[in-house]
Amino acid sequence: MASEFAVELRDVVKRFVTPEGNEIAAVDHVTMQIRNGEFFSMLGSSGCGKTTSLRMIAGFEWPSDGEVYIEGKPMGHTPPFQRKVNTVFQSYALFQHMTVYQNIAFGLEMEGAGPDEIKKRVGRALEMVQLTGMERRKPRQLSGGQQQRVAVARALVKTPDVLLLDEPLGALDLKLRKEMQLELKALQQQLGITFIYVTHDQEEALTMSDRIAVMSKGRVQQLATPVEIYERPTNKFVADFIGESNFMEGKIKSIAKDEAKVFVPSLNKEISGLPMSQDFVNGEEVVVSIRPEKIRIAEPAAKGEGLFKVQVLNSVYIGSDTHVYVDANGLRLKVMEQNRISRLDPSSFYSKGQEITLYLLPENTLILKKD
């Protein structure tokens, strides 16, 4: 491989003019490096710039500023058909007037491949997506999942360096989507090529990706592995967008090495030993963040550090877990408790107004910058 990175975006900006005549930056100074052979996801809600970024890699859009590099080469205004990347479209974009075979063969014909080679490669691609025997069908005679596979086969048959996928599973039902997630991931590992995957579904991104770029308002909010994104979000947006988080206002009391002591007014408590992944100064107003499943409900008689008393507001049973909403001096917190025991006995639930003790491990707690 010519370069360490399959794709690189350097300070890329894409500006559009809205119908009202205003100029907006759909992609606002995005820099990211996508390594060879990795499953990379761009995650964000609609309008965050993820699809526009993907389209700039594909060559359907050109950056207003900055540069896209593929295999170390600046792309400039290189048209899509001269880039070694292929796209699986959200709508699949299958050619309805062609059979499955013709759809997959199209890209090879454009390369000028001979008929024998086309036959061999299309056959292999069909095998790869388990559609052997469907060659002569037209796309609309296939189910959504099968059409999706044709779209994948049509892109992969070109043996691209990078496969771009724009919310490819968005139109499928949940069960099929989960199946296809695992299948795509397996396919990527088997082929060893780079996948760049755009999705708004965080579970999908966490399941499949080696690394994720969480995007919002045209910017990369955090770029890291799924574990880092979930366990060590670097700002409030990411902590809120990925999974769920309880946020509490706080003020730094003292800093020692990479640990801080924070006073949290709503708990009326100082929490010490909080890990710091960013630079903070003494006395800084911060946000303390903790995931609902990382708060434990302690035995009523428990004593020691990190315990605080709260009132139960509501308790919701959702099968695998019970969600307990509590009030801590006017602040609403969510606590998730796994149902390890049978809940058939109604008295095993917490009732409204009941006082319980929560236990909060400092190492599960994050301090984040105030927006």
Residue ranges binding other proteins (CB under 8 A): 58-60, 79-81, 86-87, 89-91, 93-97, 106-107, 110-111, 140, 154-155, 158
Count other Cβ atoms within 10 Å, centred on residue 232: 15
- Whichever of 84 and 352 has its CB closer to other proteins, that residue is 84
- Whichever of 97 and 340 has its CB closer to other proteins, that residue is 97
Distance in Å, CB of 207 to other proteins, minimum? 26
In our burial notation (b when 16+ CB lie closer than 10 A, e otherwise), range 325-347 reads bbebeebebbbbbeeeeeeeeee
How many C-alpha atoms does 102 have within 13 Å on its Cβ side? 10
Distance in Å, CB of 93 to other proteins, minimum? 4
Distance in Å, CB of 60 to other proteins, minimum? 5
- Helices (H) and strands (E) in the chain — how many of each? 8, 20
- Whichever of 106 and 247 has its CB closer to other proteins, that residue is 106
The single residue listed with the structure tokens 């036959």 is: 119
Extended beta strands in 126-239, E state: 162-166, 194-199, 211-216, 219-224
Distance in Å, CB of 155 to other proteins, minimum? 8
Distance in Å, CB of 24 to other proteins, minimum? 19
Q: Measure the CA–CA gap between 98 and 83, rounded to whole angstroms.
A: 24
Burial classification of residue 276, based on how many CB atoms lie within 10 Å of its CB (0-12 exposed, 13-18 middle, 19 or more buried) = middle
CB-based contacts of 336, cutoff 8 Å, min separation 6:
292, 293, 295, 321, 322, 323, 324
Distance in Å, CB of 158 to other proteins, minimum? 7
- Whichever of 39 and 92 has its CB closer to other proteins, that residue is 92
